[in-house]
Chains A and B, each alone.
Chain A
């Protein structure tokens, strides 16, 4: 193991810990970059070694900041790629030997594993493949390209979802939603209401950006969300992460907006790249939440008051899947009920946790 690689890992760990690097998009790209280095610069001879290596890096990164679910997602994607590549290589080999091993996709299905022979897992650990390294690196490059094109893929669907003269409501600032709306604005004329999203005021920034793009934007205080919801056609949310059940970890205030939309039977659309889809399940609503500096809620000027009261400033909200009508991902639109399938396609069930 080279020192260089370890330093890179520690660097990213430190950045995650200090929250210098935040946001699913930035985090996932950094993780992927690191993994390319880890895989290409290290000596490994078996698939098993590589899996262990990636898992150990993943463990460190996830421990550094467990709320950045995208880190885990990217690691799992890479692990999945490694397994797939290995199985393909394995298949090529066994096919010539007329070994009736299962197709890659079915191997990853848990049902099959339950009934089929479980010897395959041991087998793969001792196998070796020369072409594996380059194949895996190539696959990771593909993931990287996918990440880079996510906004493009999502925003191209915008005209399919937004019609003329719509009133759209959103909250917080999501690059994906911003691009989505801007794209739609180039084809359609519509209005956007943005909840200002106190105390981070990301909504204000979002509104400013949208108005610069020529979209008729109105900033509303968070308190007016329910009041104006009845005239809204669609609620479009960005998200920090999508959980296995289709629930969202999104900017605080999203829950209230989604619930208000549900009350008024207004569709809630979530724009998200698939890299935000996590196979983890929220056993507690606050599992993936993070509380921020309360200063922005109750300033330190109010010193006498602060001593006496508890001030909470949660950064995220959990939005349960029944509030969401549609996910628009880089692979198209999906209802929340379809997410399990996407998870199976993208991640290996063995990689739920990174226990070595």
Chain B
């Protein structure tokens, strides 16, 4: 399969996470190998989770983990700007990414994430060879670093052998492209011969591995070879996957049988997962909720991108702007640390290099429109400058990324703020919903300007994003009222302006934003209160959508269960309202805690909704105040810039 042809497609969660599921046939060695991964997906603190991940890079020295493990902290705390400073020049500073950038630069000077130097690879292959000989049957927990990588290197060849037939089973389409490398698998040079490969050969092997990873993804197997091999080995794994695999590789026939069994196994696991999350009929077409995992993150990914992906999966980076800036800065680092493989040029290979990064991000959380537009822009710039010398191209791409963030986000926000300031007057009562970085910036700027106004922050379960905004406004001294969405009818009377943020504005003028925005806009519209939407033009989408069903994102349904540890610090469990004298006690432990066992109970955690354009009075963009039906017009202006 040609990796260049690989499209950025949504990879269903169960494809990636199958190995994390308890499988009947799996023995305890499975958990041994999984340990760094499962630790990662379970640990809320990214910085600690980061360490094994980074360490799994072949060349990474000891200095790498501390250097970048401090990075996520900075962005965690400031998912986006914590305070608005109109004339800040550096976006990195502004978005709290500055130290990340410098930190990783330092780190990656010492160790490239990609395997450019021969030495670590050799070491790794040595290890692989040893394991093949049966000496390292069991991968010890104490050295997850080497074991993970060595298994990667070794099993990636095997993984695809299985995935050829498996793809026919799992995805229902057996393409010759997938079968091709699978057939070649057995002839693959064994570890000792790999050792004596030339650099170019190794490069070729690497390319192949990447292609195989893509094939695996398509075949419904975990992205990393290790995981795929695990899945494949599970049905009849006696003790550890290693002996079975080495055995299997010597008997292709057995291998194929096993692969079919594995495919069946994985489909049963998929079913299990479906049962677990309980699909809701109307939303069956949407991806099931994704969970943070590194199963799909293989060693070729730049750690900065993996970081960002994980943080997005855990909603530590949240919000269209923050996600876009984080992605672009991570890509910036990836491009910075990129080393051109032989026989190609940086500009020609860049797209191939970035594609797995992009698809990794998609496996973490469905791509935000803002990210999609930014990435499209980047790809466009890459495609436009194919003939540049390597270093010039690199400098150009970095500059383009910087410019994009500066022009389309940072400066755009400043322009929007200054335009928005004209719309806030003394005595205003402004209602806003959840949290938007631009709205927060505008309100803080208005307060700093000395305008006397009041803000009603409307918030909703399960994320309570408005609390963050409330905290920022309250600490700045803005007079605030905080209510939940159900009270919207109660508070709307005193409001005279509604200011909302946007995830995206669609071409039909519809506003695609945090779920609940539509209700707020509708209530305002019903009372003839102007609804002002703040949206940078880079969030405009050429997509057209009529309802909130066709495209949306499903969050983790467990978030709706309001037990104590799952309520984002929200004290629903302590309820003293005697209005519900009979029922209050029942709610304390989380009424829905047993929902998975109940056959007829389902939870739907919808993340976005669509606000029809008639509810929106005006959209403030960096190009001025426009009605939201003008989105396609603006989009046309910028089309060459953001579209390939």
Asked if B571 and A300 sit within 8 Å, CB to CB, the answer is yes
Query: Using Cβ atoms and an 8 Å threshold, which residues of chain A touch B604?
Result: 193, 218-221, 224, 228
Q: Could you give, for residues 161-201 of chain A, a 1 whenever the CB lies within 8 Å of some chain B CB and a 0 otherwise?
A: 00000000000010000000000000000010100111111
Does residue B101 face the partner (Cβ distance < 8 Å to A)? no
Asked if B574 and A299 sit within 8 Å, CB to CB, the answer is yes
The docked-state distance in angstroms from the alpha carbon of A312 to that of B488 is: 11
Asked if A312 and B490 sit within 8 Å, CB to CB, the answer is yes
Query: Using Cβ atoms and an 8 Å threshold, which residues of chain B touch A312?
Result: 481-483, 487, 490-491
The docked-state distance in angstroms from the alpha carbon of A44 to that of B393 is: 102
Query: Using Cβ atoms and an 8 Å threshold, which residues of chain A touch B552?
Result: 227
The docked-state distance in angstroms from the alpha carbon of A253 to that of B483 is: 12
The docked-state distance in angstroms from the alpha carbon of A252 to that of B492 is: 13
In the complex, residue of chain B having the shortest beta-carbon distance to the beta carbon of A286: B490
Asked if A19 and B579 sit within 8 Å, CB to CB, the answer is yes
Q: How many residues of B contact A (CB 8 A)?
A: 71
Q: Which of A301-321 contact B (CB under 8 A)?
A: 301-302, 305, 308-315, 317-319
Query: Using Cβ atoms and an 8 Å threshold, which residues of chain A touch B484?
Result: 198-199, 222, 297, 313
Asked if B461 and A221 sit within 8 Å, CB to CB, the answer is yes
Per DSSP, are chain A's interface residues mostly helix, strand or loop, or mixed?
A: mixed
Query: Using Cβ atoms and an 8 Å threshold, which residues of chain A touch B580?
Result: 22, 200, 202
Per DSSP, are chain B's interface residues mostly helix, strand or loop, or mixed?
A: mixed
The docked-state distance in angstroms from the alpha carbon of A215 to that of B601 is: 8
Does residue A226 face the partner (Cβ distance < 8 Å to B)? yes
Known: A224-B515, A256-B488, A256-B489. A293 touches B587 (CB 8 A): no
Does residue B77 face the partner (Cβ distance < 8 Å to A)? no
The segment from A84-92, A106-114, A204-212 that touches chain B is A204-212
In the complex, residue of chain B having the shortest beta-carbon distance to the beta carbon of A224: B606
Asked if B587 and A224 sit within 8 Å, CB to CB, the answer is no
Query: Using Cβ atoms and an 8 Å threshold, which residues of chain B touch A223?
Result: 460-461, 485, 514-516, 519, 606, 609
The segment from B54-62, B134-142, B468-476, B498-506 that touches chain A is B468-476
Known: A173-B583, A313-B483. A296 touches B490 (CB 8 A): no
Asked if B490 and A317 sit within 8 Å, CB to CB, the answer is yes
The docked-state distance in angstroms from the alpha carbon of A20 to that of B582 is: 10
Does residue A141 face the partner (Cβ distance < 8 Å to B)? no
Asked if A310 and B482 sit within 8 Å, CB to CB, the answer is yes
In the complex, residue of chain A having the shortest beta-carbon distance to the beta carbon of B488: A256
Does residue B171 face the partner (Cβ distance < 8 Å to A)? no
Query: Using Cβ atoms and an 8 Å threshold, which residues of chain A touch B461?
Result: 196, 198, 221-223
Task: Give the shortest distance, in Å, between B606 (CB) and chain A (any CB).
Answer: 4
In the complex, residue of chain B having the shortest beta-carbon distance to the beta carbon of A291: B490
Known: A225-B519, A227-B552. A22 touches B578 (CB 8 A): yes
Asked if B600 and A211 sit within 8 Å, CB to CB, the answer is yes
Asked if B518 and A227 sit within 8 Å, CB to CB, the answer is yes
Task: Give the shortest distance, in Å, between B612 (CB) and chain A (any CB).
Answer: 8
Does residue B4 face the partner (Cβ distance < 8 Å to A)? no
The docked-state distance in angstroms from the alpha carbon of A319 to that of B281 is: 31
Does residue A70 face the partner (Cβ distance < 8 Å to B)? no
Q: How many residues of A contact B (CB 8 A)?
A: 73
Does residue A263 face the partner (Cβ distance < 8 Å to B)? yes
Query: Using Cβ atoms and an 8 Å threshold, which residues of chain B touch A295?
Result: 571, 574-576
Query: Using Cβ atoms and an 8 Å threshold, which residues of chain A touch B514?
Result: 223
Q: Could you give, for residues 217-244 of chain A, a 1 whenever the CB lies within 8 Å of some chain B CB and a 0 otherwise?
A: 1111111111110110000000000000
Q: Could you give, for residues 254-277 of chain A, a 1 whenever the CB lies within 8 Å of some chain B CB and a 0 otherwise?
A: 011001100100000000000000
The docked-state distance in angstroms from the alpha carbon of A24 to that of B516 is: 30
Does residue A332 face the partner (Cβ distance < 8 Å to B)? no
Asked if B600 and A222 sit within 8 Å, CB to CB, the answer is no
Interface centre among A198, A200, A207, A305 (most CB of B within 10 A): A198
Interface centre among B282, B471, B482, B485 (most CB of A within 10 A): B482
Task: Give the shortest distance, in Å, between A8 (CB) and chain B (any CB).
Answer: 20
**Which of B280, B485, B574, B609 has a CB less than 8 Å from the CB of A227?**
B609
Does residue A216 face the partner (Cβ distance < 8 Å to B)? yes
Asked if A226 and B487 sit within 8 Å, CB to CB, the answer is no
Known: A223-B514, A253-B485. A201 touches B574 (CB 8 A): no
**Which of A225, A310, A317 has a CB less than 8 Å from the CB of B481?**
A310
Query: Using Cβ atoms and an 8 Å threshold, which residues of chain A touch B173?
Result: none
In the complex, residue of chain B having the shortest beta-carbon distance to the beta carbon of A311: B482
Q: Could you give, for residues 45-67 of chain A, a 1 whenever the CB lies within 8 Å of some chain B CB and a 0 otherwise?
A: 00000000000000000000000
**Which of B475, B522, B560, B610 has a CB less than 8 Å from the CB of A196?**
B560
Q: Which of A2-58 contact B (CB under 8 A)?
A: 18-20, 22-23
Query: Using Cβ atoms and an 8 Å threshold, which residues of chain B touch A296?
Result: 571-572, 574-575, 577
Does residue B480 face the partner (Cβ distance < 8 Å to A)? yes
The docked-state distance in angstroms from the alpha carbon of A260 to that of B610 is: 13
The docked-state distance in angstroms from the alpha carbon of A173 to that of B591 is: 13
Asked if B474 and A308 sit within 8 Å, CB to CB, the answer is yes
Does residue A214 face the partner (Cβ distance < 8 Å to B)? yes
Query: Using Cβ atoms and an 8 Å threshold, which residues of chain A touch B480?
Result: 308-310
Does residue A285 face the partner (Cβ distance < 8 Å to B)? yes
Does residue B172 face the partner (Cβ distance < 8 Å to A)? no
Asked if B572 and A218 sit within 8 Å, CB to CB, the answer is no
Task: Give the shortest distance, in Å, between A288 (CB) and chain B (any CB).
Answer: 12
In the complex, residue of chain A having the shortest beta-carbon distance to the beta carbon of B575: A296
Known: A256-B488, A289-B490. A201 touches B591 (CB 8 A): yes
Known: A198-B461, A198-B484, A311-B482. A218 touches B602 (CB 8 A): yes
Does residue B569 face the partner (Cβ distance < 8 Å to A)? yes
The docked-state distance in angstroms from the alpha carbon of A202 to that of B574 is: 14
Query: Using Cβ atoms and an 8 Å threshold, which residues of chain B touch A137?
Result: none
Asked if A219 and B603 sit within 8 Å, CB to CB, the answer is yes
In the complex, residue of chain B having the shortest beta-carbon distance to the beta carbon of A231: B282
Interface centre among A20, A300, A314, A319 (most CB of B within 10 A): A314
Query: Using Cβ atoms and an 8 Å threshold, which residues of chain B touch A293?
Result: 575-577
The docked-state distance in angstroms from the alpha carbon of A15 to that of B577 is: 14
Q: Which of B493-511 contact A (CB under 8 A)?
A: 493
Asked if B548 and A228 sit within 8 Å, CB to CB, the answer is yes
The docked-state distance in angstroms from the alpha carbon of A233 to that of B280 is: 17
Q: Could you give, for residues 538-561 of chain B, a 1 whenever the CB lies within 8 Å of some chain A CB and a 0 otherwise?
A: 000000000111001000000010
Contact sample, A vs B, 7 pairs, CB 8 Å cutoff: A199-B572, A211-B599, A259-B522, A260-B522, A309-B470, A310-B481, A317-B486
Beyond contacts A18-B578, A212-B598, A310-B482: 9 other A-B pairs, Cβ-Cβ < 8 A, are: A208-B592, A219-B560, A221-B516, A227-B549, A256-B486, A256-B522, A260-B518, A263-B522, A286-B490
Report the 6 A-B pairs with minimum CB-CB distance, sorted nearest first.
A299-B571, A223-B516, A255-B489, A253-B486, A227-B548, A227-B609
